[in-house]
Chain A
Amino acid sequence: MTMLLPQFELHKPTSLKEALDLARGFGDDFDYLSGGTDLLPNYKCGLNASANVISLAHIAELKAISPTEIGAGVCLRDLERSKEVPASVAYTASQIASPLIRESATLGGNLMLDTRCHFFNQSYFWRRTLGYCLKADGDVCHVIPKIMKDGKSVTNSFTCVATHSSDLAPLLVALGASCTLAGPAGTRTLKLSEFYKGDGIARFDLQRGEIFTKVSLPNTSGIRSGYKKLAPRRSIDFPVLGVAAALGLGKDGRVESLRIGLGACETIPVLYDFSGKDKQAERGNAIFTEPTKGMPEVIGKKLDDALIQTIADHVTRTAQPKLNVPMEPAYRKKMAGVFARRLLTELRS
């Protein structure tokens, strides 16, 4: 054995409407499945499995791809090979997991990866030994067990800090992407940066039954973008840190816009919008990254080495990686700045 897949009923709708109708009948007891490379391993570990699984793999409308719109059902291998999407998106897709996994895994699945934590992604035996995990079967978080709002309790029951480990999310957030959700009450579109919630369990701004259908990119002409991934190995691994940037640079070398996405540090891809326009909801707790706190003035300034260093220092100072994925937080925090500096230096040239 012997990680046995729990029993569930698999449904294979061929249209969004059919999928939504199915979902309505199952209440909360269902999961959508796309490539299955994230959901099914979690099922095998006995993590929050449902009795019904609705496959989105046979819905053609989720697989469209164009320079401005990418269907959630596009597999990462196709994204990686696509000449239509921005080069940084194709490159980032190529950095995910392994070629075999990318054949199944999809854009939507990557953006909606379940958050990861080494107290969560374990067998039932393991979680039981530790005393269960807040995100699965328990009521105590073992990552930060001592922080409680009253400052006295020794349990952290107010939030889960599991890490969102998507490679594409920080890049798409930096690029200013939006996402479209189809639900029983119709479709709605919101900024991808607002889609993520600072809670490793709730994770998304998602109504019951809603399906993530596509990502829309703003006009990225003239925007320089890229991604750097930190992982113990150069294949297979989830990122333990990802730094993405979208940089608008004037002909005089001055910064017109700069958005940095920080991945795999937190329950969300963290957005640093140096123009100050886009802000994620402040979460008001020191255990979270606060991108705007002490954010340096960047717009209109010449992007010289000193400014790049200032930006990098800001990222390192504010990043709050948690001790719940491989590699120590202090190291990852330091690398956030190194990667930001290297990425911006590359994008400048």
Chain B
Amino acid sequence: MPIVRTSRLSRNDHQLNKGVWTGAENRAANPFANGDSAEPEFNVIGKRMPLKDAYKKVTGEGVYADDLKFPGMLYARILKSTKAHAKIKRIDTSRAEALAGVRAVVTGKDAPIKFGVLPVSQDETAMAVDKVIFVGEPVAAVAADSEAIAEQALWLIEVEYEDLPAFLKPEESLKQVAPELALKDKVEKALPGTNVHKAVDQEFGDPTAAFKAARATPSGSFWFDGINHGFTEPHSVVAHWDADERVVLYTPQQVPHYTHRALAKVLELPMHRINVVRTMVGGGFGGKSDPFPHEIIACLLSKKTRRAVKLTMDREEVFLVNRGRHPSDIKMALAFDAQGKLIGMDSNALIDGGSAGSFGVVSTYYNGVLSNGPYYLPAFRYKGRRVYSNHPASGAMRGHGSVNPRFAMETLMDMAAVELGVDPCELRLRNFLPEMCFTPYHKFRITSNGIREGLAEVMRLSDWKNKWGKLPYGRGIGVGCAFYISGSALPIHWNKLPQSTVHLKIDMDGGITVHSLAAEIGQGSDTVLAQMVAEVLGVNMDRIHVRSQETDLAPIDLGSYSSRVTFMAGNAARDAAEKIRHDLAQAAAKLTGQPAQYFDFKDERLVCRSKPSVAVTFMEALHEAQADRGALIASGCYQSPPLGTEFKGSNAGLSPSYSFSAYICEVDVDPETGFVQPRHIWAAHDCGRALNPMAVEGQLEGSIHMGLGQALTEQMRYRGGQLLNGNFLDYKIPTPFETPEMDIVIVESIDPEGPFGAKECGEGGLAPIIPAVGNAIYDAVGVRMFEVPMTPDRVLRAIEEKKRVGK
């Protein structure tokens, strides 16, 4: 696939880079700032390289949780609720306990303390206590000598239920209900007696006036089916409550730190008695970022048996744990003036949170506030409701909270363009936020912004001007744009600790160990941290060993969610490396008699800038620096600068930087069958600087493929409260046949605060593909799609409806 990189735009002359915002002073002096703005020459930054764990993964050497074996290890299985909503009248585990080979049985009573990823939504228990609220909820668990015995024992556990009416449509959860029908003890304060988890009502500017004055007010009522992350590796954990009275939990977590906290709370142990070990993660996408019931269950079973206990789920169970994208009912209207300027938005989102709070408070805000870009939006009204229901829990998934409203907004942008007679790309260009600005009310600080360059480039590559509105019936082209946070600026747990801390250790062997709790989940976290260090110290990548698994060893990092690692942990790693660099430069000065600040670090050597014949090797400098001191160690950290404003909930959506994307997609639509086949995608993403273009392309191609799944085929289908398609045959993830050619355009806007100018590229690239497909369908066959996924039957229904109305 051709890779088009737009020219590197050097933006070092703006205000932001001159310390207007805090954060800059925390960092050591930029070693590349030589007084000119010329592009620095890098050692490893910007070079294409495979991820550090790639070889282990492709050869099968990588160790996943299910690969672990311990002496005397037991196997656990979970008894799941067969009821969507019911009281538990009785649980009798005696027959299961009596089965030969069964070593322990636990139920909800063994761990009644509530937990949840957000401090404001501590609403989960390890297993059901008193009542069950979805089909698949853990009710009890068994540890036995083998999986087969554990499975057999499950069905010997007798559970007597008393059915309660289930809440399966989000609007039903808005109603006042009798106390026994409350799904949770605690609901939205403003709406007591309902099953509403979180309500957000925001109004800024004067939307009423905007809609009154508008020339075009496109509106739509959108429905989005829930979808699941579909990561390859199922949930799998091993817990060992060991002889030292410490708990070790091996778990493929995106966020080991939050699991660490939840375990401490539920198991009532000080955090230092728990070691959370992140095993290799076979995909996460947001679906492995909650502390999970099964993690606690494995610990409980190990506590009872004092043996290591492994618990691996099957695919159906993974679907029932879910935490995927919310089923969403979004009603949105936009207001445009005669010039095509966006002057207002009115959005109403009702999202089905299912059985748990999870990240839902954030999701509820994001569904509204992440409409504040990439367009300037002067009047804003948003009503968001996240409800509990008797479905498996929704949560965070790649592009968290932004993807569904993005489809609505981009569809309405397109409708406005048609109504106003403006080219849809042109309409967008008229409305983009500039770089170096604040959004009007939420005060999102937009630093670098390469969306104009990105859109211009994909327009050129796709031959947009000769295609849009001009292709034959059945073929169409569409555009979608988006922006996304580059790390949530506010930590979930409010405290004064840095969001990322990185430790470095270099001993006389010359190996550089990077300790961090940023989770490598396949996105390249370990590689990017290694690159930071290799760049600053001018050494080869193979010197760098990243140890990012254990809470015992690694300093706290908030983990891999909200696309924060490159920006935050990256800056922390750079910070630490610069401290070591300082020590090594001092050593080189001592060895050569030249001033320390004159040394460049390159190709494993420290070369005197003013006298290039004077140089020492990295190892020489290292050994000198170690004299009378031993291993060099350093700690670096990152904390977001103060951002935002002061209204309730104003923290949501704040980020030190934002990524931007502009996608164009060409599709074929079969007007008789409704099948949509994407032909070609041109995708531009502004990631600040591509630290590793190969990884950036991989993230964007992956985002597109994943987005196409939501766009066209993926949906969690229910019959009553029961998931119909919890397997990979019936849950339709696109195959390579469905995946079109992609041209990835990397836009480098060089962010002033990102490490070496970088910002996120792991999530923001998903949202724009879905509306690009929807808008291309309109261009192909003249119908607007208001339901996602845009399955053949839905597309055909829309085409037939248009024919019927047309006549």
Interface residues of A (CB under 8 A from B): 1-4, 118, 121-123, 125-126, 128-130, 230, 232-238, 326-328, 331, 334-335, 338
| Residue contact A326 to B735, C-beta cutoff 8 Å | no
B83: nearest chain-A partner, CB-CB = A129
CB <8 Å contact, A338 and B713: no
Report whether A128 and B792 are in contact in the complex, using a CB–CB cutoff of 8 Å.
no
Task: Judge whether A237 and B736 touch: CB under 8 Å.
Answer: no
The reply to whether A232 and B713 contact each other, CB–CB distance below 8 Å, is yes
Please name all residues of chain B whose beta carbon is closer than 8 Å to the beta carbon of A4 when the two chains form the complex.
147-148, 151
Which residues in A have their C-beta under 8 angstroms from that of B796? 331, 334
Stretch at the interface among B309-317, B365-373, B389-397, B778-786: B309-317
A-B contact pairs, 27 of them (CB 8 A): A1-B312, A1-B313, A2-B312, A2-B313, A2-B314, A3-B314, A4-B147, A121-B729, A123-B314, A123-B316, A125-B82, A126-B316, A126-B722, A129-B83, A129-B135, A232-B713, A232-B792, A233-B713, A233-B734, A234-B737, A235-B737, A237-B732, A238-B729, A327-B793, A331-B793, A331-B796, A338-B672
Chain A positions within 8 Å of B75 at CB level: 1
Measured CA separation A126–B738 after assembly (Å):
30
Mark B715-741 against chain A: 1 for CB-CB distance below 8 A, else 0: 000010010111001101011111000
Does B80 count as interface, using CB distance less than 8 angstroms? yes
Question: Taking the complex as formed, is B77 at the interface, i.e. its CB lies under 8 A from any CB of chain A?
Answer: yes
Cα distance A228–B673 in the bound complex, in angstroms: 13
**Residues of B in contact, count (CB < 8 Å):** 33
Indicate if the CB atoms of B672 and A236 lie closer than 8 Å: no
> Chain A residue with minimal CB distance to B146?
A4
Q: Are A236 and B147 in contact (CB under 8 A)?
A: no
Shortest distance between the CB of A38 and any CB in chain B (Å): 12
In the complex, the answer to whether A118 meets B722 with C-beta atoms within 8 Å is: no
Binding site for A on B (CB under 8 A): 75, 77, 80, 82-83, 135, 147-148, 151, 312-314, 316, 672-673, 713, 719, 722, 724-726, 729-730, 732, 734-738, 791-793, 796
- Number of A-B pairs whose CB atoms are under 8 Å? 74
**In the complex, A257 Cα to B314 Cα: how many Å?**
50
B792–A233 touching, CB < 8 Å: no
- Closest chain-B Cβ to A158's Cβ sits at a distance in Å of 22
Q: How far is the CB of A321 from chain B (nearest CB, A)?
A: 12
A232 in contact with B316 (CB, 8 Å): no
Q: Considering the complex, give the chain B residue whose CB is closest to the CB of A234.
A: B737
7 further interface pairs, Cβ-Cβ under 8 Å (given A236-B729, A334-B796): A122-B316, A129-B83, A130-B719, A130-B722, A326-B725, A331-B796, A338-B672
Q: Using A4-B148, A328-B793 as known contacts, say yes or no to A338 and B737 having CB atoms under 8 A apart.
A: no
Query: Known contacts being A233-B734, A236-B735, A331-B793, is A1 close to B147, with CB within 8 Å?
Result: yes
Q: Choose from A1, A3, A128, A338 the contact partner of B82 (Cβ within 8 Å).
A: A128
The answer to whether B736 touches A235, judged by C-beta atoms less than 8 angstroms apart, is yes
Q: Is there contact, CB below 8 Å, between A118 and B725? A: yes
In angstroms, Cα B82 to Cα A331, docked, is 31
Chain A interface, >50% SS class = loop
* Given A1-B313, A2-B314, A326-B730, A125 and B80 contact (CB-CB distance below 8 Å): yes
Given A232-B732, A331-B792, A338-B672, answer yes or no on A1-B725 (Cβ-Cβ < 8 Å). Answer: no
Q: Name the CB-closest residue of B to A130.
A: B722
Closest residue to A142 on the B side, CB-wise? B719
By a CB distance below 8 angstroms, the chain B residues around A2 are 77, 147, 151, 312-314
Known: A2-B147, A234-B738. A118 touches B724 (CB 8 A): yes
Residues of A within 8 A of B151 (CB): 1-2, 4
B738 contacts which chain A residues (CB < 8 A)?
233-234
| Contact A129 to B77, CB < 8 A, known contacts A232-B732, A233-B732 | no
- Residues in A with CB closer than 8 Å to B732 are 232-233, 237, 326
Candidates A118, A128, A235; contact of B735 at CB < 8 Å: A235
Q: What residues of A have a CB within 8 angstroms of the CB of B713 in the complex?
A: 232-233
Give every chain B residue within 8 A of A118 (Cβ-Cβ): 724-725, 730
Q: Give the Cβ gap from A235 to chain B, nearest Cβ, in Å.
A: 4
Q: Provide the bound-state CA to CA distance between A126 and B726, in Å.
A: 10
Instruction: Identify the closest chain B residue to A4 (Cβ).
Output: B148
**B722 contacts across to A, CB distance below 8 A:** 126, 129-130
B673 touches A338 (CB 8 A): yes
Q: Which residues of chain B are within 8 angstroms of A230 by Cβ–Cβ distance?
A: 673
Closest Cβ of chain B to A71, distance in Å, is 28
CB-CB under 8 A from B314, the residues of chain A are 1-3, 123
Q: Across the interface, which residues of A come within 8 angstroms of B734, CB to CB?
A: 233
CA distance A123 to B725 in the complex (A): 11
10 closest pairs, A vs B, by CB? Answer: A234-B737, A129-B82, A331-B793, A235-B735, A2-B314, A232-B732, A1-B147, A338-B672, A235-B737, A233-B735
- Of all chain A residues, the one with the shortest Cβ separation from B315 is A3
B673: chain A residues at CB < 8 Å are 230, 335, 338
> In the assembled complex, which residues on chain A have CB atoms less than 8 Å from the CB atom of B82?
125, 128-129
What is the CA–CA distance of A328 and B791 in the complex, to the nearest angstrom? 11
Q: How far is the CB of B523 from chain A (nearest CB, A)?
A: 26
What's the Cα separation between A334 and B792 when bound, in Å?
A: 12
Using CB atoms, name the residue of chain B closest to A46. Answer: B151
Which B residues are CB-close (under 8 A) to A123?
Answer: 314, 316
B77 x A1 contact (CB < 8 A): yes
User: Which chain B residue shows the least CB distance to A125?
Assistant: B80
The residues of B that contact A334 with a CB separation of less than 8 Å are: 796
Q: How far is the CB of A343 from chain B (nearest CB, A)?
A: 13
A345 to B713, CA, bound (A): 29
A237 partner residues in chain B, CB cutoff 8 A: 729, 732
Distance (Å) between the CB of A243 and the closest chain B CB?
12
Query: Taking the nearest CB of chain B, how far is it from the CB of A344, in angstroms?
Result: 14
**A234, B735: Cβ atoms under 8 Å?**
yes
A122 to B727, CA, bound (A): 9
Contact status A125-B316, CB under 8 Å: yes
List B contacts of A129 (CB < 8 A). Answer: 82-83, 135, 722
Query: Complex Cα distance A1/B316, Å?
Result: 11
Chain B residues with CB under 8 Å of A331's CB are 792-793, 796
Whole-angstrom CA separation of A234 from B796 in the bound complex: 18
Which residue on chain A has the smallest CB distance to residue B76? A1
Complex interface: chain B residues within 8 A of A338 (CB) = 672-673
